[in-house]
Chains A and B, each alone.
Chain A
Amino acid sequence: MIDILSKRYLYFAISLLVIVPGIVLLALNGLPLSIDFTGGSLLEVQFETGKTPATADLVTLYEEAGINDAQITATESGSLQIRSSFLTNEVRDSILTAMKEKSGSEVSVIRFDSVGPSIGKQVASRAALAVAVAALAVVIYITAAFRKVPNAFRYGVCAIIAMVHDVAVVFSVAGIGALLFDWQIDALFLTALLTVIGFSVQDKVVVFDRIRENSSLLRKLEYEKLVNHSIVQTLQRSINTQLMTVEFLLLALALFGGVTLQEFSVILLVGLFSGTYSSIFVAAPILVLWEKREWANWFKRTETAQ
């Protein structure tokens, strides 16, 4: 049988390697919150071919309407995305009229999102609450479901640690995506994050359930071997479900699903993969580490190094 658990510190290192860079980026650049959470406006417009005005002209146009923080980016399809502080519908109409006059072109609105500043803040705090409540509910459920196993609360705690790991991976990807592709944390990101939390637990439950079953069947086996045995037994299912089916569906969505869903699918893709990875390489090893109280050895190691 494959010995998965003996290299556990290697897996922890790999996880850190994925998590740390993105989190550092986020710490340096701040969370790339979208207008869903900060309030503000995003206006995407398309001009007739060849009549798209210069960026500076549009900025002036916004300034004339009293909006001094317009930022303009061109999209691949040739339309312009203009981000600014909150626009009322009246101001937006006057800006659009001015655009038509200045450019002499028809202006079609592809998308317009405008979120008032107060609502954005409330959404942000409510979203944080939603994530916290979801995590808590899931942990309570696991502890209850495993109440007959010795040290049931350890399973709950390990599920939280692995869940925090998955959330960190998702944020790390968001941080890297923000740098490379101008991604933003919006309501869809939040939806993806909550889904990752839900499915992360689903994976842990499958592995833990096998440990639960084996612990009554194979009482004499050492705990590490028992956990290792359970992981190997569920490995095929994890690979088949996650890699071959769910990830394939999401990959198809990310590749062919159009711009709107791209970021959402990539976040889900990485997050769900992380969920499977963490149940085998994070949650289960921590269970063993806890059983053996390995933290005592950490100090010994530093002593011998001295």
Chain B
Amino acid sequence: MIRNLTNRIIVIVLIVLAALWIDFSRQINVLNPLNDETLIKRDLTPRLGLDLQGGLQVLLEADLPADAQIDSAQMEIAREIVQQRTDALGVNENNIQVAGDRRIVGEFPGLEDTESVLATIQQTGLLEFVDTGDFSPEKDTVIQTDYNQTAPPAEGETVYRTIMTGADLKTVAVQPNSLGTSYVINFELSPKGADIFAKHTAANVGKHLTIVLDKQVISSPVINEAIPSGQGSISGDFTYESANAFAIQLRYGSLPIPLKIVETRIIGPTLGADSLDKSLVAGLIGMVIVALFMVIYYRMPGVVAVVSILIYASVAFAVFKWFHFTLTLPGIAGFLLSTGAALDANILIFERMKEELRNGKNLSQAIDQGWSRAWSSIRDSNLSTIITSVILFWFGSTFGATIVKGFSVTLALGVLISLFTAIYVTRTLLALVLKSFKFDNLERWFGI
């Protein structure tokens, strides 16, 4: 029989209260009563995955030969730049992570204007000031420069000299031009850049200084006079949006590794909302039927099991919310399956208990035996589920398959929490019920 039953009940009540508090709050703020300092502050807005609210997911891959070694520090820098660029676009909710050693996955739940994000994130953003001499290339043409050459030049193609790159920019700002018809980008150079710029402009008055982004010509102004100040502006028929997007590229620098989009997934908002409603209703229907079955078949222990499953559900949901897990459709399925595992543990114990009762043991003996005998089954079977979840998680993370990841995390955590509720909560509650009531008719109360 269980000793210190009161302590166990206090622990359970505290856990349930904490869980319910987290379940029903959007934010938790705990102040220290002595000095009013914030002790705990946690935003608990539930996060819905792309499949539930719609949005965009892109997988970027380093655009380098497959056997090229990729520096993980550079991948991290590339990730930060992609992050800064999307933040600067005003996309609030985003999640950008390095996946594996050559990929970056970006998720933008709820995003509707996917075009600007897609256009901005994959551009390398390499700005060059190129000496094209007397030649003034047309806007948008692609020219070859001697900086970071990507492909050998075609027969007869000129390779121009790069004077400096965007790395020498210090500040960048978007402003309307003097006529107010268009926008220009004003920039200020670093001391080193200013020096190079001053020397070049002094020596090349009357020649063209061509500004290219990712080898594509933005504008090709004539150098009217030497510019010693290190300040200048780029004009080129910009709208506010295009000037701003350009400025973002310049401000956050060029990507250390060229990236290309290898996978795009867009889910419209209607499909997402439809799935959420339907799967929640489905989950609810399933749960109600299962609860009915448990009560009808197992009687009193069945009621205890249902209470224990409700506790399980509230604790699991609280854990998911607290750690900001994104709720996805497979995540909901994983949660339902782990609920199944929680029920299985209860059923294993009850079946065992009934067997012991039929063998003529008294009630408290039967409960103890039921537990100890069922434990090895519960442990071994749940461990094998956890092993599978870990492998699923590993598979999901290397490919940025967040859906698979979400499923495996909810399944594994759900199974762990279900072990706790089956072993600790159900057992304690059953002991409590036994202590409080006298069961003279085993057949009726335990459904033997």
Contact = CB atoms under 8 A, between A and B. Distances in A.
Interface stretch (B232-240, B243-251, B286-294): B286-294
A249 B384 contact: no
B384 A258 contact: no
Interface string B255-271: 00000011111111011
B404 A205 contact: no
Given A89-B264, A257-B279, A130 B392 contact: yes
Summarize B's interface: helix, strand, loop or mixed: helix
Contact of A241 (B115, B261, B343, B389): B343
Contacts of A212: 376
Given A133-B391, A141-B387, A202 B382 contact: yes
B287 A118 contact: no
A110 interface: yes
B285 A197 contact: no
Interface stretch (B159-167, B177-185, B347-355): B347-355
A133 to B, nearest CB: 6
Contacts of B217: none
Interface string B386-408: 01110110110011010110011
Contact of A205 (B119, B330, B384): B384
A138 interface: yes
Interface string A159-189: 0000000000000000000000000000110
Given A213-B373, A248-B286, A255-B282, A260 B271 contact: yes
Contact of B380 (A115, A198, A209): A209
B265 A112 contact: yes
A73 interface: no
Nearest to A246: B340
A248 B274 CA distance: 22
Given A115-B262, A195-B388, A244-B290, A252 B282 contact: yes
Contacts of B340: 241, 245-246, 249
A268 B271 contact: no
A265 B340 CA distance: 14
Contacts, number: 208
Interface in B17-36: none
B282 A257 contact: yes
B283 A252 contact: yes
B389 A198 contact: yes
B107 interface: no
A253 B340 CA distance: 13
Given A89-B118, A126-B395, A261-B329, A113 B264 contact: yes
Nearest to B405: A191
B262 A237 contact: no
A125 to B, nearest CB: 11
A191 B399 contact: no
B275 interface: yes
Nearest to B376: A209
B333 interface: yes
Nearest to B278: A258
A264 interface: yes
B344 A253 contact: no
Residue from A88, A108, A236, A256 with most neighbouring chain B CB atoms (10 Å) = A256
B91 to A, nearest CB: 16
Contacts of A260: 51, 271, 275, 329
Contact of A256 (B268, B281, B344, B381): B281
Interface string A219-230: 000000000000
Interface residues of B, number: 71
Nearest to A93: B115
B229 interface: no
A237 B348 contact: yes
A141 B385 CA distance: 11
Interface in A112-155: 112-116, 118-119, 122-123, 126-127, 130, 133-134, 137-138, 141-142, 145
Contact of B381 (A111, A118, A202, A249): A202
Contacts of B297: 240, 244
A199 B338 CA distance: 11
A134 B347 contact: no
A233 interface: yes
A19 interface: no
A260 B329 CA distance: 8
B447 to A, nearest CB: 11
B339 interface: yes
Nearest to B407: A191
A190 interface: yes
A67 interface: no
Given A112-B264, A138-B387, A248 B392 contact: no
A191 B404 contact: yes
B96 interface: no
Given A111-B267, A126-B399, A256-B282, A245 B293 contact: yes
Interface of B: 51, 59, 61, 66, 115, 118-119, 261-268, 270-271, 274-275, 277-279, 281-283, 285-287, 289-290, 293-294, 297, 329-330, 333, 336-337, 339-341, 343-344, 347-348, 351, 355, 373, 376-377, 380-385, 387-389, 391-392, 394-395, 398-399, 401, 403-404, 407-408, 411
A-B pairs, top 4 by smallest CB distance, nearest first, are A198-B388, A252-B286, A258-B278, A116-B262
Given A115-B262, A130-B392, 9 more contacts: A112-B264, A113-B265, A114-B264, A130-B391, A191-B404, A198-B384, A202-B381, A250-B336, A251-B286
